Structure 1
């Protein structure tokens, strides 16, 4: 079984709810996608609406991976910079693969699809992403060609006594 990737798919109510479910399932499985478990789709909805607003304004693009049943199984948002000196690279946000699909190479496929999408954008020379320390994600991203270019120790507080590094990774496209 493989995923089918779509850049900027039409966002139907069913797809919207599927992304919320994906995000909730990933978060509740311990995924580092902006929330700490337990979390409900309703708690995630305001954050998704921020992403959708940015999409409507042309600042974000959605890369969606659907499983053979048409269910969202992976996502990544590509965010364009608005600062005039930084428009040559994009941020990759909310990179996630449903826990039921992890370990099947779908994360690598998602990153490859994001790289392909970014290469098609005019004037984009690199992709940057941030990841939360403590999960080993920087090693996964490095295995996909990203290089660690920055780290802020303890910048992310997931609990009162649990601080994680904020790690910045970069993938040059040129």
Structure 2
């Protein structure tokens, strides 16, 4: 499924091939090295990220996770998000949004909001999904961005994320009801 937003063209569940894999790896490394809180700390190389991406792509292949990719005007991967269904039988009415990324060269131009809107649209298209949850790293201010996209903070674990010795951050859980 392709969704057009004003700036980027989004595809839910694109064909996963080496070009897509390598594009996501480059994006993930670029976002991390620019200070993005997407599971790693800088400096990082695509090769160091590869095992984590391969785990995510296995989940995509198994149908548990959906991959949303934003393509720029040159056809390069410029944004991604993973939508993962909750497997607990009492919580299948919401999903997790993971690894939300917009390339640093595009940040500040509204593409993050486009990505969040595309992710919400994708989630609304999935049977039985009523809300999206996401986790974010405290100390980055990103929770204000998510709040401006309609998410509200529903939980916080102080110091749960250890970025480095002496640098512990809160693990913040946010929720977006879809209806």
* TM range, smaller chain: over 0.9
Secondary structure of the corresponding residue to residue 99 of structure 2: strand
1:149 to 140, 154, 164: 154
Which position in structure 2 is the counterpart of 1:158?
A: 163
Q: Name the Cα RMSD after superposition.
A: 0.8
Q: Is 1:69 matched with 2:74?
A: yes
Which position in structure 2 is the counterpart of 1:25?
A: 30
Question: Normalized against structure 1, the TM-score is what?
Answer: 0.99
Runs of 4+ in 1 over 4 A off after TM superposition: none
Q: How many residues align?
A: 174
Q: Is 1:46 matched with 2:58?
A: no
Secondary structure of the corresponding residue to residue 173 of structure 2: strand
Deviation for aligned residue 1:14: 1.1
2:7 to 2, 12, 36: 2
Secondary structure of the corresponding residue to residue 101 of structure 2: strand
Deviation for aligned residue 1:39: 0.4
Which position in structure 2 is the counterpart of 1:36?
A: 41
Question: Normalized against structure 2, the TM-score is what?
Answer: 0.96
Instruction: Render the CA deviation track for 1:102-159: whole Å, top value 9, x for unaligned.
Output: 0010000000000000001001010000000011011000000000000000000000
* Structure 2 residue ranges without an equivalent (≥5): 1-5
1:95 to 91, 97, 100: 100
Separation in 1 of the partners of 2:122 and 2:23? 22
